[in-house]
Structure 1
């Protein structure tokens, strides 16, 4: 039995994966793409999954925007997006020119080490200036263009600075609207966004919105310091997942 071209068993398992990843997204502001894509591509082709996930990422961010609008750090967001626009084409070039697995392993090690240091108490004394912020955006764009995972540098940027956790979470969510839109546009340019992409996104929309709502409610009942620790632990887990996938590709 199929629903809109998807076997019922695939729809059930993928919807459960979307729901679980959406809880993480609603709570922390990130992690949805990597968790959902890692799970769903175990039984569905990646080229068919990624455009739908980009559509859902944008829907998740737009769903949360009204509740976080006042906490977004617009100044940092502007320079991060400028850097991302610069870095994304460089990342696409790297994707075409450099083996992806070793680069992913290096990124995984860097993110894990940095997040571990932050768990041990490392913090920047002040928010970086425009140049450093743009540089962070360039690094994010490089990773986004090369691997579709540009979040780690920006997450580290916001959660290592003196700003409130709510500001970091809100700014990360807003930043992903830009990067996911760029990713979706790139997929559309290459003909990967199809009618089926939209149909899958519609089928996964309900578990997405339910999961995001559950995660967002959880965020409101946790202390700022506890939230920072959970974010960093999640970042380490996601980096390790990426590293394991890269190591398996090398093997």
Structure 2
């Protein structure tokens, strides 16, 4: 329907601005907003493809700033432990897990907003633990990004290096999971159509967001990113409560 196309285009464009600016938030924002007019089975595969496209689009500009040693360990453990998350998905209600995740994200963002950060680089064990948590959450809830975001924002890395590493980690995890979507036949005609229609909005939004990030000081960008993170936590909690009330 025309109104659905216009609404989807607008949602993707606004979420892409956030993605280009902060390096994260696109999938969660689009899935939550588009779920009001489209079924998740159509949204999730389309947004997954757009996430990969967004990462590839940003990769040339961030390549030199990526902390590859941390990324290899983190993504490797995340991929290994995603099946554990799938087990939780099959045996534990998603609602309570989402609420706990939202509370953790919001609390951590407030702590980071107060200026509390690690004074040393994370160890390989801490990096692997973050990847493990991200993999479990990715398998259980489809939301594996928050531990990675918190990890890099709380490290002594410069914001530019942290943002670049977040984007690279998400791209690697998304590309690792892409074959499973094809294997399970989740790419329907509607999801492919949604991805194609949304692609111009994605490119335009990421371009605008990247330009905005490049023109602001690191302090301002960091505060905006943390506000976005807190907003994502609130949105996750609201979505969980809405789902619980709807099923109840």
Q: Report the TM-score range of the alignment, normalised by the length of the smaller protein.
A: over 0.9
Counterpart residue number, 1:89: 83
| Structure 1 residue aligned with 2:27 | 33
Note the C-alpha offset of 1:183: 3.7
Structure 1 residues 161-194: Cα deviation after superposition (integer angstroms, max 9, x where no partner): 1110000110111111122223433322322123
**Take 1:61 and 1:220, find their aligned partners in 2: how far apart are those partners?**
17
Q: Is the 1:21–1:32 Cα contact (8 Å) retained in structure 2?
A: yes
TM-score, normalization by structure 2: 0.96
1:245 maps to: 239
Q: Indicate the residue corresponding to 1:149 in structure 2.
A: 143
2:215 match: 221
Shift of residue 225, structure 1, vs aligned partner: 1.6
Question: Offset at 1:106?
Answer: 0.5
- Structure 1 residue 199, shift from structure 2 partner: 2.4
1:250 Cα deviation from its structure 2 partner:
2.4
Q: 1:226: how far off?
A: 1.5
CA contact (8 A) 1:54 1:181 kept: no
Give the CA deviation at 1:195. 3.7
* Counterpart in the other structure of 2:127: 133
Query: TM (normalized to structure 1)?
Result: 0.95
Aligned residues: 245
Q: Give the alignment partner of residue 72 of structure 1, picking from 56, 66, 77.
A: 66
- Structure 2 gap segments, 5+ residues each: none
Query: What's the RMSD between the two structures over aligned residues?
Result: 1.1
| Segments of 4+ moved more than 4 angstroms | none
Distance 1:199 1:248 in 2: 28
- Aligned counterpart in structure 2 of residue 108 of structure 1, from 85, 98, 102: 102
Report the equivalent of 1:189: 183
Question: In structure 1, what is the Cα distance between the partners aligned to 2:240 and 2:128?
Answer: 28
Work out the CA distance in 2 between the residues paired with 1:38 and 1:184.
21
Partner in structure 2 of residue 42 of structure 1: 36
What is the rounded CA distance, in whole Å, between the counterparts of 2:179 and 2:139 in structure 1? 12
CA contact (8 A) 1:123 1:162 kept: yes
Write the deviation string for residues 105-147 of structure 1: whole angstroms up to 9, x where unpaired.
0111111111101111210111111111011001011111111
How many Å separate the matches in 2 of 1:165 and 1:89? 31
1:111–1:235 CA contact under 8 A, matched in 2:
yes
Q: Which residue pairs with 1:3 in the alignment? A: none
Cα distance in structure 2, aligned partners of 1:38 and 1:250: 15
